[in-house]
Structure 1
Amino acid sequence: MRFNGLKKWHAGLSFRFMLRVGLFMLLFIPFQPAAQAQLRGISYSKRFLDSLQRDTFRYFWELGDNPHGLIPDRHPTPSFASIAATGFGLTAYLVGVERGYISRQQAAERTLKTLRFFNSAPQSAQEKGTTGYRGFFYHFLDMKTGHRYKQVELSTIDTALLLAGMLSSQSYFNQNTAMEKEIRTLVDRIYRRVDWQWMQVRKPLVSMGWHPENGFIQSDWKGYNEAMILYILALASPTHPVSSDAWTEWTSTYEWREFQRFPHVNFDPLFGHQYSHIWIDFRGIQDAYMRQKGIDYFENSRRATLANRAYCMENPGKFEGYEADLWGLTACDGPKDTVINGQTFYSYRARGAAATQVVDDGTIAPTAAGGSIPFTPEESIRTLQLMKHRYGKKLYGPYGFRDAFNLSYPGQWFDNDYLGIDSGPILLMTENYRTNLIWNLMMHNAILRKGLLRAGFRGGWLRS
C-alpha cells in the first residue's frame, strides 16, 4: 500500500511539474512550427540538390570520355556531338572539382583534351571533312571524326556557348603548371580566331550562321533571346570585334510587353532567359535599355519565369498535370509531330509562353524550372522535387532528369533521353544559386568585362 501510494504521489508530482513546464513554454517561449518546417524543407532541399547536381554532372563526365572530349547532344539515343553541350561540359568540370566529384588534375586533363581538339581541328570552306571555318564551329559534329555532321550550319550562337565554357576554364585554371598554362593559351588562341565581322552580313547585327553549300543564313540575331552572350563576346574580341552599335541595334528589337501581369522583355521559351546568365551575373548591372526600364536582366528573367509558371497555372489549353508546383515550358523533346483528337503535339520544339507567342502542347521540361533556380528558387526547387517524387524512374535516372514529359499525350509520354543543352543549365544554375561559383569566377574574366562595358553596362560589380 505504501509503495502504491508513493507511486501515485510521484505521478501527481510529475503531472504538476510537466503542467508548469508546459505553461512556462507556452507563455514565454515562442512557438515556431513554421520555422521548424522551413528548416526541415531546407535540409530536404539540400539533400535533393546534392543528388541532382551529382547525377547531372555524370552526364558530362561519363559521356565526355572519348578521344576528342566532346559531349553528345543526347543519350542514350546514339547521337552526334553538340558544341554548345560541350561548352556546358567544360564549365561542369569546374563544378565537379569544387564539389569533390573529380580532382583538379582530372578536370584539367579532360579540358585540355577538348581544347587541343578544337585548336587543331580542320577549318576550311569545304563541305565535308572540317570542324569549322573562320574560327566558328559547326553546330553538331560527328562523335568519331569530330567533323561536321551532315549539312548542319556553322553556328554563331553555339560557337558562343562553346567559347563561354572555354573562357570559364581559362579563368579557373590559373595555376603556374604546364598543363594549366596550356589551357589558358589555347582558349586565347581559339577565341581570337573567331571572325565576328565576317558574320555581319547585314551590319551591325550578326547572322545566325553559314552553310558552305549556300552561304549565310538569312536571319540575324535580334529580338531578345539567348544571344546576349554572343554579342558580349563579339564586342570584346581583340581581333575581329563588332562595333558597339551592334548592341544598340540588338536591344532596339526587344519586345517589352506585359504577360500574366509581369511586364518584361518577352521571349517565350525559358532557355533564352537562362543561357547567358550561366556565365554572367546580371544582378545590379544595367545597359542603357534596362536603365530606362528600372530593372536588370536578372529581374527580367525572374519575371519571365514567374509569367511562365502563371500561364501554366492558368492552363488555357486544359492540359493534364499543370499546377502551381508542376510547370515549365521551354525548348525540349516532345512525344511526336501529330494531331490526335484535334490536339496538335510536337516532337522537339521551342515551347514557351509570352505575350508575343505561345507554343504549348502539354509538354513540361524539368530544365525550365531547373535553369531558373537562381531567379525563382522556392518555386523551381519545389517543382523539381515534386517531379522526382511523383514520377520517379520514368522521369529521373542515372544522369538526373530526362528531358521532358507529357501527361496529355495518349498513354502519357515520358522521354527516354537526356539532352546536354538542357542538363547543363540545371547543373550550372543550381551551382550559381548555391555558391555563386561561376558568377564569381567570370566577374574577373577580362573578356566578359570588356564586352559588358562596350555594351554600355554600368554599376554593381563592374565598378570594382
Structure 2
Amino acid sequence: MKLGSVARSPLVLLLAAATLLASCKKTEEPSVADKKPVKVILIEAELPPKLVKPELPPLFDDIERRTFQFFWDTTNEQNGMAVDRYPSRPFASIASVGFALTVYPIGYENGWISREQAVQRTLTTLRFLRDVPVGPQRTGRAGYKGFYYHFLDMQKGLRYDQWVELSSVDTALLMMGVLFAQSYYEGDSADEKEIRQIADTLYRRVDWKWMQQRTPLITMGWYPERGFIQHDWMGYNEGMMVYLLALGSPTHPVEPDAWQEWTRTYNKDWGVYYGQEYLAFGPLFAHQYNHVWIDFRDIQDQYMREHGIDYFLNSRRATLAQREYAIDNPMKWKEYGENVWGLTASDGPQNTTQDYRGEPRQFFHYRTRGAGLFEAFDDGTIAPTATVSSIVFAPEVVIPATQEMHKRFGDYIYSSYGFLDSFNPSFNYDIPLKTGRMLPNRGWVAGDYIGIDQGAIVTMIANYRNEFVWNVMKKNKYLRAGLERAGFSGGWLTPEGEAPPVPKKDEQAATARALGIAESRAASAEAQPTPAQRQPQNPQ
C-alpha cells in the first residue's frame, strides 16, 4: 500500500503524536527485527484553500457538445422519455430523464438550442410524468405513490417488464432533474409557470414515508409482485440524495433521525486508502452523482464536522486514491497508469473466467467496478465517465487523463456522442460477447452510450465551467430544507447577513484523532489487501 503524505497540520501535532507513541512503548521490551515501522501521517486540521482552476482545453468543448447532443437526439420528443442506453435496448431510464431535464438548459446556455426548444422539451416531459397512469397494478402503470419504475417503455412510458423495480434512488435522480427545472425556468410566460407548477406537483406526490419499511431507514424499492426490497440505503453511496429529498418534502417528509441513522452506518467506510483518508465507496459514481446538483463545498453535516472535511473534499480524495490505485496497478492490467484510470458502474465484455498472465481472472458485463477500502472489483475495464465526471474535484489530474485517453484510444472509443461507455485493453479472448466488439491487439470496446454516465459528464463539465447546475439548485427551497434538516450548515447555507463559520473539527475529536492517527493508519495499512488478495471474488 502507498501512504502518500497528506499532512497539513502544524508540526507541534506531529511531535506530540510521536512523543505520545514513544512514551507508550515499553522500554524493557526487546525490539523485533521484522516489525513494520509505524508511519505517522496526520489528517488535515482544516479544509485546504481553494484550488486554482485550470482552463479547460478545447477537447472539453467537444465532449460537452457531443454529450449534450446524445440527450437531444435520443430522447423521445413526444413524451420526454430518455434512453437508458443507445443504440441498443430501447427502453427509458427515469434516472436518464432526470439528467436530461438538467441538460436541456445547458444546451440553451451554450447556444446549441433555443430557450423555447428547452422549454417545450421540458414541458412535454413533465406533463407526461404527471399524466401517465400510476397505481399498484403489476402492468400498465408507470409508478406508484409518487415513485416511478426504474425502466419504462420508450413509447408508452409504462413499466418495461416484471423484473423492473419501483426505485427510490432512480426516482430521486428523476426528482433532482424535476427540481432543477422548477428553479431554472423563472420566466413569466405561461409555459415556464406551468413547468414550475408541474414540478412542484411531481415532487409533492412522492410518499417517502411509505418507503420506510424499517424506520428510519429508506428501502431501495418495491415490486408489486413481492413487496418491498429487503435492503435499505445504508453506508456511504448514492443513496444520500434519497434521504435529502425525503427530508425536504413538504408533504411526506421523513424525520431527521433518518439522516442520523444513515450517517451512523458510515463508520465501516471511513479509513485510509492509497494515501487518502476519506469516506470510501469503490465506484466513483457514488462520489459524483449527488454533486451534480448539490454544491457540497464548505457545507458540513455533523459527521463531516467531526472529521474535518466536507463531502466535496471527500470526493476529491476518492478520485486521487483511485488514480493512485491505477498507478500501482496491483493486478497488472494493460494500459493502467497516471493518465489511464476510471472505475465505476459500467458495461464490460462478458460474464466469464479467463486466464490472464497465468492466473484465472473473472470478467463481467455490466456491474459496479471500483477500488476502495473494504470493497473493490476490477477486471481491467476502464470507464471514461468515471474520469471526466470528476473534473470538479481534481481537474489537475482529470484534464491530462481525459486528453491522454482521447489521444491514445479516441479513434475507437470516441464517436458521435463522445466517449463510449467503457473499454478493456486486457480482454483479448475469442468468445461470444454480451455487447460491444473486439479489436485486434486493442481488446474490448463497448458498443453503447449509457444515459446516466453521459449525464454526469455534461453536467459536471458545466459545473466546472461556471457552477451552473449548483447555482440553480441553490435557489430551490426544497433542497435547502432537506440539507438543513439533515444538519448541514456553513458555506452557502449561511443565512444572509451572517458570517459563515470557519470549518473545523470538533475539538475533542480532533485531539483524539491527531494523537491516535499513527496507530489507526498503521492498522489500516495492515488491513490493506496484497495484490493476490485483491483478485476479484465470486459475487454473492
Q: When the two structures are superposed, what TM-score results if normalisation uses the length of structure 2? A: 0.77
Query: In 1, are the aligned partners of 2:344 and 2:368 still within 8 Å (CA)?
Result: yes
Aligned to 1:285: 299
Is 1:418 matched up with 2:449?
yes
Q: Between the two proteins, what is the percent identity of the paired residues?
A: 54
Query: In 1, are the aligned partners of 2:76 and 2:154 still within 8 Å (CA)?
Result: no
1:347-366 equivalence runs, <5 A = 347-366=365-384
Is 1:462 matched up with 2:462?
no
Deviation readout 1:282-333 (Å, 9 max, x if unpaired): 0000000000000000000000111111111111110001010000110000
Deviation readout 1:424-461 (Å, 9 max, x if unpaired): 11100011011100111111110111000000000011
1:233 to 245, 248, 260: 245
Shift of 1:153: 0.3
Shift of 1:42: 6.4
1:138-153 equivalence runs, <5 A = 138-151=149-162, 152-153=164-165
Question: Partner letter of residue 198 of structure 1?
Answer: W
Aligned to 1:135: 146
Aligned to 2:310: 296
* CA–CA separation in structure 2 for the residues paired with 1:77 and 1:122: 26
Aligned to 2:80: 69
Query: In 1, are the aligned partners of 2:282 and 2:344 still within 8 Å (CA)?
Result: yes
2:235 to 200, 223, 226: 223
Is 1:104 matched up with 2:122?
no
* CA–CA separation in structure 1 for the residues paired with 2:424 and 2:471: 37
Aligned to 1:399: 417
Deviation readout 1:187-215 (Å, 9 max, x if unpaired): 00000000000000000000000000000
Deviation readout 1:264-295 (Å, 9 max, x if unpaired): 11111100000000000000000000000000
Change over 3 Å in CA distance of 1:42–1:453 after alignment to 2 = closer
Question: Partner letter of residue 302 of structure 1?
Answer: R
1:3-402 equivalence runs, <5 A = 45-151=56-162, 152-254=164-266, 255-341=269-355, 342-402=360-420
Where is the helix percentage greater, Structure 1 or Structure 2?
1
Query: After TM superposition, what 4+ stretches of structure 1 lie above 6 angstroms from structure 2?
Result: none
Unmatched 5+ stretches in structure 2: 1-52, 429-439, 497-540
* CA–CA separation in structure 1 for the residues paired with 2:373 and 2:454: 27
Aligned to 1:28: none
Question: Partner letter of residue 228 of structure 1?
Answer: M
Aligned to 2:458: 427
Highest RCO, 1 vs 2 (Cα 8 Å, sep ≥ 6): 2
Question: Partner letter of residue 427 of structure 2?
Answer: Y
* CA–CA separation in structure 1 for the residues paired with 2:311 and 2:409: 33
Aligned to 1:436: 467
Shift of 1:261: 1.3
* CA–CA separation in structure 2 for the residues paired with 1:135 and 1:435: 33
* CA–CA separation in structure 2 for the residues paired with 1:112 and 1:399: 24
* CA–CA separation in structure 2 for the residues paired with 1:131 and 1:393: 40
Question: Partner letter of residue 209 of structure 1?
Answer: G
SS at match of 1:102: coil
Question: Partner letter of residue 374 of structure 2?
Answer: T
Deviates more, 1:375-384 or 1:233-242: 375-384
Question: Partner letter of residue 110 of structure 1?
Answer: R
Question: Partner letter of residue 430 of structure 1?
Answer: I
SS at match of 2:454: helix
Aligned to 1:3: none
Q: When the two structures are superposed, what TM-score results if normalisation uses the length of structure 1? A: 0.90
Query: In 1, are the aligned partners of 2:283 and 2:343 still within 8 Å (CA)?
Result: yes
SS at match of 2:222: strand
Unmatched 5+ stretches in structure 1: 1-40
* CA–CA separation in structure 2 for the residues paired with 1:248 and 1:344: 38
1:447 to 458, 478, 486: 478
RMSD across aligned positions (CA): 1.1
* CA–CA separation in structure 2 for the residues paired with 1:374 and 1:450: 25
